[in-house]
Each structure stands twice: as structure tokens, then as C-alpha cells.
Amino acid sequence: MTSATLPSDESGTLRCARHPNTETVLRCGRCETPICPRCMIGTPVGARCPTCAQVKRFSILLKPAELARAIGYGIGVGAIGTVILTFIPFLGLIGYAVLGFVVGEAVSVGANRKRVRELAPIAVACLFVGFEVGIVGLLGVRGVPFSIELVLTPIRALFGGSLLQGPLIGLLIGALLAWMRTR
């Protein structure tokens, strides 16, 4: 831009292009338009005017195969982690918190590390479904016949049953970590 097209007064003081009553010494780093601090947008490459600073974000979509893989990885890791933590009961709270982080990481890997808003609740759901699948699978291996009691056992275990000494708080912390890992 030439100085003839820049808004200025008689004394040569620059005026903001969007706020003509505001004197300024700032210019957009891209188009050289005078800008005031009210309309300046800070970017990693310097101050920009609102027109130049419009960041066009591409929408990231998960393919159905990536979504299915992310869910499968999350539930699988949650189930395997639950079985492992059943045999190491002293890890309890910390173990289930770490399991939540690992499930979040597995969901992220399953989605090719794409940052999609929908992955956070999926990771939390995978943690709890993986817990359920792990306990039901563990009881099935022990020879317990399938019944509604088999499905309700993990729910009882969450709230302090004798099976896992109540991992609810650990799973809630793990759910928070899974959410944060995939957000």
C-alpha cells in the first residue's frame, strides 16, 4: 500500500482504518493497514488486522474405520488393563487413573492422532465399557454362567464390592485423564 491510500490526518498521524477517530502507530504485518490496539489481533507472526488474521480452520472428520478402530482400541485396552489391575489390587486408585490415560492414548492412536472434539467422550465411554468387558470376561473365564448378575457385578465392584475394592474414584480420575488426553 502506498502512503496516499493510508488513512491519516493533516499532521501525518495515522488513523485506524476501522476506527477513524483513533490515532495509531501500529500496522498490520501483512497488508500494512493501520490498526489500533482494539482491532489488533496478535498472531505468532505479529500483529494483524481482523481481515488478515481470519484463520481458516479445516474441519477434521474421522472416517468410520478410524472411529471404529479408536473405539476398539479403547475398549480393548480398558478390558486388558482391568484384568491386569484385578490381579494387582494394591495399585487401585493410581492404577485406574493411569489406565484412563492409557485408554485415552489408545483412542488417540486408533484415530490416527487426530484432534477431534468427539474423541474425548468416546475415550471416557471406552474406559467404563472396557472396565465392564474386563470384569465380565474375567468372571466368564472363571466359569461363572452368563446371567444378569454377571453384568451387574462390575457395577457393584465400582461402588466398593469385594471384587476390586471399589475403583470408582480411580476410574473417575482416569476418565478425566482420558478426556484430557484426547481433547
| pLDDT at position 25 over 50 | yes
Q: What is the pLDDT of residue 34?
A: 92
Contacts of 151 (CB under 8 A, 6+ apart): 132, 136
Q: Per-residue pLDDT for 11 more than 70?
A: no
pLDDT at 9 over 60: no
pLDDT band at 161 (very low <50, low <70, confident <90, very high): low
Quote the cell numbers at residue 6.
493510508
Q: What is the pLDDT of residue 105?
A: 95
Q: Please choose, from the candidates 167, 180, 172, 156, the residue with its C-alpha nearest in 3D space to the C-alpha of residue 83.
A: 167
Beta strand pairing call for 46-48 and 34-35? unpaired
In the chain, the percentage of residues whose pLDDT exceeds 90 is 27
DSSP H stretches of helix in the chain: 64-87, 92-110, 119-141, 148-158, 168-182
The region of weakest confidence among 4-13, 45-54, 115-124, 164-173 is 4-13
Write down the mean pLDDT value for the chain: 81
- For 23, list phi and psi in degrees, rounded to 5: -75, 150
Measured over the CA atoms of residue 155, residue 160, residue 162 and residue 163, the dihedral's sign is positive
Residue 164 has pLDDT above 80, yes or no: no
Q: Which residues contact 36 (CB under 8 A, 6 or more apart)?
A: 16, 18, 19, 22, 24, 26
Q: pTM of this prediction? A: 0.61
Helix/strand/coil for 168: helix
Query: Which cell is 88 given?
Result: 494387582
Task: Residue count of the chain, please give it.
Answer: 183
Average pLDDT over residues 94-109: 93
The residue-averaged pLDDT of 119-141 equals: 87
Whether the pLDDT of residue 165 is over 80: the answer is no
pLDDT of residue 114: 87
